[in-house]
Structure 1
Amino acid sequence: MAHPAVISPAARRWLARLAFAAAAAAVVLILTAAGIRGSAGLLLTGAFGAAIGLAGAWVFLSRRGPLRWLAAVVVVLVPAAVAVLYVRHHLLWAVIALGLLWAAALAAGRQALADAGDGPAEYETPPPRHPYLIMNPRSGGGKVDRFRLAELARGLGARVHLLDGPAVDVAELARGALADGADLLGVAGGDGTQALVAEIAAQHGIPFMVISAGTRNHFAHDLGLDRENPARCLDALTDGVELRVDLGLIGDRTFVNNASFGAYAAVVQSPAYRDDKTGTALDLLPDVLAGTGGPNLRLSMDGETIPGPRAVLVSNNPYATAGLAGIGSRPRLDLGVLGVLVVTVRGAADAARLISGRGRARSVTARVATETVIDADAPAVPVGIDGEAVVLPTPVRCSIRPGALRVRVPRYRPGTRSASPELDWTRLRRLAMPSRRS
């Protein structure tokens, strides 16, 4: 398996120091540039422009009608006006250099804090003799046909069932295949279909195989599979290894990625979401950010209760995150815990911090738990389960099934790369200048 390169403690220490050096150089540069032009007002103008831009972004997301589009104009024009001002004062070079230095500081800092980690243990097992693969020709814009997946799989000895309609019961197909002697179940399709078949595979203790033919392929990504060329996933049929990974459980339903409540679930629940994801999200965000887009939630986990969250994301193992917008990959799928992200927005300041990617400390709470309960002041709540919209009666209980699923993957695959971590300057300082006692 291709794991991320492990960074030595000494290298991490020097990367942390480089981050601080680049940040300090950025401050010195802008102060020197302002001194050269003799105008500290330019610094204030830049800071004021950034504040106006964030306020405009908040109004754009939280309002409808003409005010929203006026805010969009502000978001575009204010940075442009500040840039023109700096150009007229011959300071564009300073802005560019400032951006490069901050980019270097962020990159070095995140690399220093990144946790390479090892993936799940690999087990040597013989290739399947009677693999059965369910493929959705419509998934991922037609990847099954474009990459000739059915033809290639049959050439490797697999039985292939092509889904020919939306009403097909894939779980029943999987049970029928097991009754006919299948010793591996696989899916080329979306994460929701994968979860249904993975549940059957886990119940019967046989290996499951993922073919990255969906649109987003989140589960495939976190298994380290090739998302650009799903045909490479078929290598698992002839030269593969097995992983033991966890499964999430919401009520009596399995999920491989996550279950979402509140803001994101309300967006997914809209009938227009599949056809216009961006437009639907923009239309519903004002209500969910204002707290009027659905029932009031209450989250309980490990003896802790969080009242009134705007959004809750419960995942099969925790995500590496960098604020609300930075939900990325799961470095591990075998930790035996749920990841829990809770979003609370108590005003425009919190919302602006979230939009800018700086809101995690105040507005996004990250936890791990083995069980969560989401209740509401309503008999049922909308839930997004692996991107599928459902409505479940309250309270909704989520739990983890450690090591429940045997997944067969190619021996040689791209591997996972952790998402960039949130830049914690306090932790970075301790890394750059460790105490003598440590």
Structure 2
Amino acid sequence: MINPKSGSGRGAELIELLRRELPDAEVVELEDGSDLIAQLRRVAPRARVLAVGGGDGTMTAGATVAVESGLPLLALTGGTFNHFTTDVGIEDPMRAIEAVRSGHTIAVDVGTVNGQLFVNTSSIGSYPAFVATREGLEHRLGKPLAAAVSVVRTLAREVPMTLLVDGRRHSSALVFVGNGGYQPTGFAPSWRPRLDDGLLDLRLLDVGRRWAALRIAMSLLTGRLERSPLYIEQRVASTEIVIVEGSTLLARDGEVSEDESRIRYGVMPGALRVFCPPAD
């Protein structure tokens, strides 16, 4: 199942690659407005391998149906951002196709949030807006200063939420949850050394204290955020976050839903088999 318009035309290149390298494969081009998960569920009963081509949102849909149906996933990079395939080590689609020919798969974890799967990250509150602001400034200011400016801007615009995180009260507008432990520490996580540690990476900024935004910005500028009492980073197998009043946005691998007030996170260790060449 390939989105031919993904990645500024990379999807169309994937279709040509598949038809040339795996001529016996059934290639389905996803039409505009189609429900990818519904279409994958429709074809899964006759599949031996479930293949998807696109970006991280496409990978999440493929992983969802692959886990449901017990099929291995052929993940073909074809989006703008390809965090999952990069971390697995198959950012080159030919490496994934070679793995199919050899029959080699690895088992990776998938995260769950309110019953839905994610392969990379999830967040609540204004974290997606913070990331967009930070990435827009990085090329001019560098990562530390861009992160500091983005925190100040985001916290100035947003009203912090009162949260209960596993029963403990915090005040925050920025909460990040990763499927597996991310590197580096701090509020610019970008890659994972492994995808099978069975843990979630929980990070949040607690802004319920005096001058919190300024203190966090100074910690980011000096590279000492992980030592700040306002920054929380934990590795957990599960967590429950309750919004004390109202609701919040919930992001999952780039897909956003609204009006969530009780959010339960978990991990399905080794639930997804992905084709990947043996490690060197």
1:262–1:288: 8 Å Cα contact kept in structure 2?
A: no
2:237 to 353, 365, 370: 370
TM-score by length of 1: 0.55
Q: More strand by proportion, 1 or 2?
A: 2
Alpha carbons of structure 1 residues 258 and 341: separation in structure 2 relative to 1, 3 Å: same
What percentage of aligned pairs have identical amino acids? 32
Matches within 5 A, 1:27-426: 134-145=1-12, 148-155=13-20, 156=22, 157-165=24-32, 167-179=33-45, 181-225=46-90, 227=91, 229-266=92-129, 278=136, 286=152, 288-290=154-156, 292-294=157-159, 296-301=161-166, 305-325=168-188, 327-345=189-207, 346-362=212-228, 363-411=230-278
Structure 1, unaligned runs of 5 or more: 1-133, 414-438
Structure 2, unaligned runs of 5 or more: 138-145
- The separation in 2 between residues aligned to 1:370 and 1:288, in whole angstroms, is 29
- Report the Cα offset of residue 388 of structure 1: 2.0
- Report the Cα offset of residue 262 of structure 1: 2.4
Deviations 1:300-338 (CA, angstroms, capped at 9, x unpaired): 23xx6241133111111111224223x121112111111
Q: More helix by proportion, 1 or 2?
A: 1
Q: What is the DSSP-based 3-state SS (H/G/I as helix, E as strand, rest coil) of the residue aligned with 1:410?
A: coil
Deviations 1:179-211 (CA, angstroms, capped at 9, x unpaired): 3x1111121112122112211111111101211
Letter in 2 for 1:208: L
- Report the Cα offset of residue 378 of structure 1: 3.8
- Report the Cα offset of residue 266 of structure 1: 4.5
1:245–1:404: 8 Å Cα contact kept in structure 2?
A: yes
Q: What is the DSSP-based 3-state SS (H/G/I as helix, E as strand, rest coil) of the residue aligned with 1:163?
A: coil
Letter in 1 for 2:218: A
- The separation in 2 between residues aligned to 1:364 and 1:263, in whole angstroms, is 16
Q: What is the DSSP-based 3-state SS (H/G/I as helix, E as strand, rest coil) of the residue aligned with 2:216?
A: helix
1:184–1:209: 8 Å Cα contact kept in structure 2?
A: yes
2:159–2:173: 8 Å Cα contact kept in structure 1?
A: no
Q: What is the DSSP-based 3-state SS (H/G/I as helix, E as strand, rest coil) of the residue aligned with 2:172?
A: coil
Q: What is the DSSP-based 3-state SS (H/G/I as helix, E as strand, rest coil) of the residue aligned with 1:232?
A: helix
TM-score by length of 2: 0.83
Letter in 2 for 1:339: D
Alpha carbons of structure 1 residues 408 and 233: separation in structure 2 relative to 1, 3 Å: closer
Q: What is the DSSP-based 3-state SS (H/G/I as helix, E as strand, rest coil) of the residue aligned with 1:238?
A: helix
Alpha carbons of structure 1 residues 284 and 324: separation in structure 2 relative to 1, 3 Å: closer
1:262–1:297: 8 Å Cα contact kept in structure 2?
A: no
2:170–2:206: 8 Å Cα contact kept in structure 1?
A: no
| Dislocated runs of 4+, deviation >4 Å | 281-287
- The separation in 2 between residues aligned to 1:357 and 1:173, in whole angstroms, is 46
How many aligned positions are there? 264
